């Protein structure tokens, strides 16, 4: 039902149409030099024969693959999914195809993935975050294609970057909590050395907390990313045992905040009266919990879209304005009842 039979080649179409391969090639690509009637004729014949262009062969000759390689830690994360989606859509507009690789939050896996992806000769490469192995950096340096780091503001940028400061995002939330009267403040995050963006948020968060003279050690490491509601619920219990007087907690992601909130509520702890909860990521769920969860909107889709536009400009025809790294819209704090106590 699906076994290899010889697929027609361009030469076969040419023969059937009584022209040369070159004419078929031109007709298929819409080259103006082919007579309109002839072109229509060729297209019809190609269609009838079920001819499908072999892009691999064209690429070899033109040296343009139309691939953009992309590595993300995980696709099972609404934020990354949004970014990938935005990126894919924009690139599709200009005929570029995304090659996706998952790194599972491991820089070693990332290096391996990049090595694999580069063999496909992508015209640009998009990575998540600004932390990479030396090996990966070497690969990227040698590849001589545009590199875009996303979701971060790298200390040592490789090429372009489209992202924001996760530390600032954490700090912003800390100030919000403090402004609303919280003083014994905690953070639930991933284990150290795994999710670098989450760590940056935690770092910025506690830096800000410290600036107000408050305790900065209430950190719960809830496991390896990606963290979900399950881990959030577990971490909430740990938090209560370890620092029972905590009156506010930020979670590395909304999924975690949701799980933590549920755990508190089932233990009879009032949110936000006894403990305020904040998340990150503006997941859909956060707007519909009771109370709704204060969070930070990272504009994930826009990160993808901006990255796509940047790449389109880099690979497209020479533009007047040279493309530059783009920081996009800064993350937005979304205040909701889980920290403000205001009724819905």
Partner DNA sequence: TTGAAAGCGGTACCAG
Partner DNA sequence: CTGGTACCGCTTTCAA
**102 forms part of the interface with a second copy (CB under 8 A):** yes
Q: Which of 21, 133, 165, 230 binds a second copy (CB under 8 A)?
A: 230
Which strands, in side-by-side order, build the sheet including 248-251? Answer: 219-221, 185-189, 248-251, 276-278
**15 forms part of the interface with DNA (CB under 7 A):** no
Q: Please enumerate in sequence order all residues whose Cβ is within 8 A of that of 81, keeping only pairs 6 or more positions apart, or say none.
A: 75
CB of 262 to a second copy, least distance (A): 4
The single residue listed with the structure tokens 């990160």 is: 303
C-beta of 18 vs 193, nearer to DNA: 18
User: Looking at 70-78, 183-191, 206-214, 274-282, which segment touches a second copy (CB under 8 A)?
Assistant: 70-78
Structure tokens given for 285? 């769920």
Q: Are 220 and 239 in contact, with CB atoms under 8 Å apart?
A: yes
Phi, psi of 205 (to 5 degrees): -60, -55
Residues 35-64 close enough to bind DNA by CB under 7 A: 35, 38, 53-54, 57-58, 60-63
Q: Please enumerate in sequence order all residues whose Cβ is within 8 A of that of 156, keeping only pairs 6 or more positions apart, or say none.
A: 130
32 contact choice in DNA, a second copy, none (CB below 5 to 8 Å, kind-dependent):
DNA
CB of 64 to DNA, least distance (A): 8
Look at residues 290, 293, 288 and name the one whose alpha carbon lies nearest to residue 340.
293
**12 forms part of the interface with a second copy (CB under 8 A):** no
Q: Are 68 and 91 in contact, with CB atoms under 8 Å apart?
A: yes
Q: Please, what is the angle between helix 166-179 and helix 196-211, to 10°?
A: 40
Q: Are 223 and 157 in contact, with CB atoms under 8 Å apart?
A: no
**28 forms part of the interface with DNA (CB under 7 A):** yes
**2 forms part of the interface with a second copy (CB under 8 A):** yes
The CA distance from 278 to 293, in Å, is 6
142 contact choice in a second copy, DNA, none (CB below 5 to 8 Å, kind-dependent):
a second copy
Q: Which residues bind DNA (CB under 7 A)?
A: 9-11, 19-23, 25-26, 28-29, 32-35, 38, 53-54, 57-58, 60-63
Q: Which residues bind a second copy (CB under 8 A)?
A: 1-5, 7, 50, 52-57, 59-60, 65, 74-76, 78, 81-82, 84-85, 88-89, 97-100, 102, 115-116, 118-121, 138-139, 142-147, 159, 228-230, 233, 255, 258-259, 262, 265-266, 284-285, 287-290, 344
């Amino acid at each position: 039902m699906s076994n290899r039979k010889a697929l027609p080649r361009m030469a076969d179409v040419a023969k059937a149409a009584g022209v040369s391969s070159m004419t078929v090639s031109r007709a298929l690509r819409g080259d103006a030099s082919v007579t309109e009637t002839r072109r229509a004729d060729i297209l019809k014949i190609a269609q009838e024969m079920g001819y499908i262009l072999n892009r691999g062969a064209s690429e070899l000759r033109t040296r343009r693959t139309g691939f953009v390689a992309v590595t993300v830690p995980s696709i099972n994360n609404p934020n990354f999914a949004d970014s990938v989606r935005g990126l894919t859509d924009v690139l599709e507009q200009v005929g570029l195809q995304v090659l996706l690789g998952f790194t599972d939050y491991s820089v070693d896996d990332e290096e391996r993935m990049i090595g694999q992806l580069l063999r496909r000769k992508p015209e640009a490469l998009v990575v998540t975050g600004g932390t990479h192995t030396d090996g990966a950096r070497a690969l990227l340096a040698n590849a001589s294609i545009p590199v875009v780091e996303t979701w971060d503001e790298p200390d040592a940028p490789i090429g372009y970057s489209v992202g924001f400061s996760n530390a600032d995002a954490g700090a912003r939330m800390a100030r919000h909590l403090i402004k609303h009267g919280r003083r014994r403040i905690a953070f639930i995050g991933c284990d150290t050395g795994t999710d670098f963006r989450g760590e940056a948020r935690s770092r910025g968060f506690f830096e800000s907390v410290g600036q107000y003279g408050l305790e900065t050690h209430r950190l719960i490491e809830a496991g390896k990313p990606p963290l979900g509601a399950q881990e959030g619920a577990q971490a909430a219990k740990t938090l209560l045992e370890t620092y029972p007087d905590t009156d506010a907690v930020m979670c590395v992601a909304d999924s975690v905040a949701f799980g933590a909130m549920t755990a508190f509520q089932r233990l009879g702890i009032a949110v936000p009266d006894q403990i305020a909860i904040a998340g990150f990521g503006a997941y859909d769920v956060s707007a519909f919990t009771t109370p709704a969860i204060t969070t930070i909107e990272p504009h994930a889709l826009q990160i993808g879209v901006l990255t796509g536009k940047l790449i389109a400009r880099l690979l497209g025809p020479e533009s007047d304005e040279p493309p530059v790294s783009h920081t996009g819209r800064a993350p937005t704090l979304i205040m909701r009842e889980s920290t403000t106590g205001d009724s819905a």
